Amino acid sequence: MRGDTADDAVADAAGARAGAILRLRGLALAAAAVPAAVASVLWAGRLTGHLGAAGAPDAVAWDAARWAVTALALLTFGWAAAFAAALRRARPHRTPNVPLAEQDAPELYRLVRDLAGRMEVPPPGAIALTPDCDSWLEDETAPGGSEPAPPTLVVGSPFMWWMRVAELRALLAPVAAGAACAMDPEISAARRFTHGLDAVLATHQGRRGAWASIPARSLLRRSRGHAAEMERAVAVWASERARQVDYGQRIVAQEQVGLAYAGWDRLLTRVALPAWRLGRTPGRLNAGVVSALTELSRRDRLAAEGFETRLGERPACDLLEEPGRIDEAASRLAARLFYAGPPVAPAPVVAAPGGADPALDWAAYPDEVVVGQWRHQSAALLAVLRLSPEVAPLTALGTALRTLREPGARLGAETLAARLEAQRGVSVARTGRDALSDGLYALVCRAAVASGRAEPGLDWLDGPVLLVDGVRRTDLGAPIALAVEHGDEEPLRAWLEELGIAVDPFDRPVRLR
């Protein structure tokens, strides 16, 4: 890292901050050794007769001091040894990733090594993917090791599928340049020390862990400023080193980072989350983000600028030997990282080889996830209406509409909402009216599909939708709101009749009291 005259000032600043952290570590070690040093002096004075010689009037006092300091030294030594062992065993947090062996992505490895060669920095030792819009270097130095090991380059998987090869190379240049800093002995040692302190704090909590957490917190407080400045200097150094590699392309790549992040977040929250809640795992999330951003470019003129030109360039996922298999592995990891709750419905009985749940194909999403979500959303409403979950959707919808207006104005809707809010399935953040709106919407969709007038669909930006003649219907919200808020189901009946769905108006409503 050092020795390049153009970057000497920045490199020296990073090295100076790393040296300050290591000096703090040395001072802590020296402080722990002070009682032992004092005890050694006292015992040496006893043996030489200079401090409390036998028969001297102050011998008893010196002996008492010697034993007290010796006891303190032993306690301090034991505590310091235990703390050093805890620090050595500490495992800093590592974000799970999908390792890429060289045979899985030989072209990607060649691209990264070419980057490192052009910037005159050591190449990363390995490459991995993470299901997130970020990239970094993961330290691979063995715990307690003195020599830094080549780091792993972790690349955000959405970048691989959305970006073109030239954009990815420009994006990874400053990240790969950081490998020189990761291999610097002082910077690597300083990082391991501060990361180890963080890990000690994470694993030693409460009163029982105070013996380790108190000194770790004190050392972190004194080293945090130096660590922040060191990382800032490292980032500046890496950025300056990467300027010589596709600097103009980096501006374009940074624009694509923001777009990829927006598309990935929308895909996870609107498309993947409903599937995860039903116990299903979409197997091609990264391919899905391309579809989502393609749809965004179709709707948004600003996002569409330059889109056609980019389509003619080689996508970065072509650098992988089996992009489909790797996409599936990254998609399963995304489900583990971003969805911690249990499925609200059991996963299908069919199992994939190895016992894992089969990956959900996007073509099966409407029938398995969209319909499944509507069934789940309408289940609570059916229970309040005292109807079987297997009742025909059109019959259940007719019962719900009549109950909303009976026995007068808003009492039916208010009673249904109150019953739904009382159920344990409604979270604190959602009211009974929200649950009623969701349940009624789901019943309408199920009835429309059961009548053959509509079909479930997948919108890449909004998730489950209702399609009529292949076109998404977005005008159902207002009739649902009128039925729920005012007990006026006529606009909703008119909406259904427009599709050719007649709801029997003569059946008697369900009595909720």
pLDDT above 90 as % of the chain: 62
Return the H-helix or E-strand segment holding 277.
helix 273-277
CA distance 332 to 326: 10
For 364-391, what is the mean pLDDT?
93
pLDDT in tens, 160-204: 999 999 999 999 999 999 999 999 999 999 999 999 999 999 999
Between 394 and 352, the higher pLDDT residue: 394
124 close to 153: Cβ distance less than 8 angstroms? yes
Lookup: tokens for 186: 């002082």
The pLDDT assigned to 2 comes to 56
Q: What would you measure as the largest C-alpha separation in the chain, in angstroms?
A: 116
pLDDT greater than 70 at residue 417: yes
For residue 115, how many C-alpha atoms fall within 13 Å in the half-sphere facing its CB?
A: 32
Q: Each residue of 47-64: pLDDT tens digit?
A: 787 776 666 777 778 888
Provide the pLDDT for residue 349: 41
Distance (Å, rounded) from C-alpha 318 to C-alpha 105? 9
Q: From residue 313, how far is each of 162, 317, 324, 437 by CA, in Å?
A: 11, 12, 20, 46
pLDDT tens, position by position, 457-473: 999 999 999 999 999 99
Q: Residue 330 and residue 324: Cα distance in Å, rounded?
A: 10
Listed range (127-136, 246-255, 288-297) with the worst mean pLDDT: 246-255
Is pLDDT above 70 for 408? no
How do the domains of the chain map onto residue ranges?
Answer: 362-499
Model confidence at 297, pLDDT cuts 50, 70, 90, reads confident
Mean pLDDT for the chain overall: 87
Q: What is the mean pLDDT of residues 490-498?
A: 92
pTM of the predicted model as reported, rounded to 2 decimal places? 0.85
Q: What is the pLDDT of residue 424?
A: 56
Instruction: With CA atoms as reference, report the closest residue to 417 among 402, 390, 437, 401.
Output: 437
Q: Judging by DSSP bridges, how do beta strands 98-100 and 136-138 pair with one another?
A: unpaired
Is omega for the bond preceding 407 within 30 degrees of 0, making it cis?
yes
H/E run at residue 465: strand 463-468
pLDDT tops 90 at residue 428? no
3-state secondary structure 85-153: HHHHHCCCCCCCCEEECHHHCHHHHHHHHHHHHHHCCCCCCEEEEECCCCCEEECCCCCCCCCCCCCEE
Q: What is the DSSP letter of 312?
A: T
Q: Is the pLDDT reported for residue 509 higher than 80?
A: no
Residue 351 pLDDT: 45
pLDDT of residue 98: 96
Is residue 507 helix, strand or coil? Answer: coil
In the prediction, which pLDDT does 304 show? 57
pLDDT band for position 508 (cuts 50, 70, 90): very low
**Span between the terminal Cα atoms of the chain, in Å:** 77
Alpha-carbon distance of 68 to 346, in angstroms, equals 66
Q: Which of 157, 162, 156 is nearest to 292 (CA)?
A: 162
Alpha-carbon distance of 175 to 159, in angstroms, equals 14
Average of pLDDT values for 426-452?
A: 85
Q: How far apart, in Å, are the Cα atoms of 306 and each of 170, 313, 322, 400?
A: 18, 11, 28, 50
What are the tokens at 381?
């409403």
Mean pLDDT over 252-272 rounds to 93
pLDDT for 510 beyond 70: no
Task: Copy the structure tokens of residue 233.
Answer: 């200097």
Query: Which is nearest to 404 in space by CA: 331, 298, 490?
Result: 490
Output the pLDDT for position 306: 65
Q: Please name the residues in contact with 8: beta carbons below 8 A apart, sequence gap of 6 or more.
A: 2
* The predicted structure's pLDDT at residue 340: 81
Highest mean pLDDT among 76-80, 94-98, 151-155: 151-155
Predicted confidence (pLDDT) at residue 355 exceeds the cutoff of 70 = no
Percentage of residues in the chain having pLDDT higher than 70:
88
In the prediction, which pLDDT does 461 show? 93
CB 319 within 8 A of CB 161: no
| pLDDT for position 305 | 63
pLDDT mean over 235-252: 87
pLDDT band at 243 (very low <50, low <70, confident <90, very high): confident
pLDDT digit string, tens, across residues 7-36: 678 888 999 999 999 999 999 999 999 999
User: Which residues have C-beta within 8 Å of that of residue 279, sequence separation ≥ 6?
Assistant: 343, 345, 346, 347, 348, 357
Q: For the ranges 55-59, 152-156, 291-295, which has the lowest average pLDDT? A: 55-59
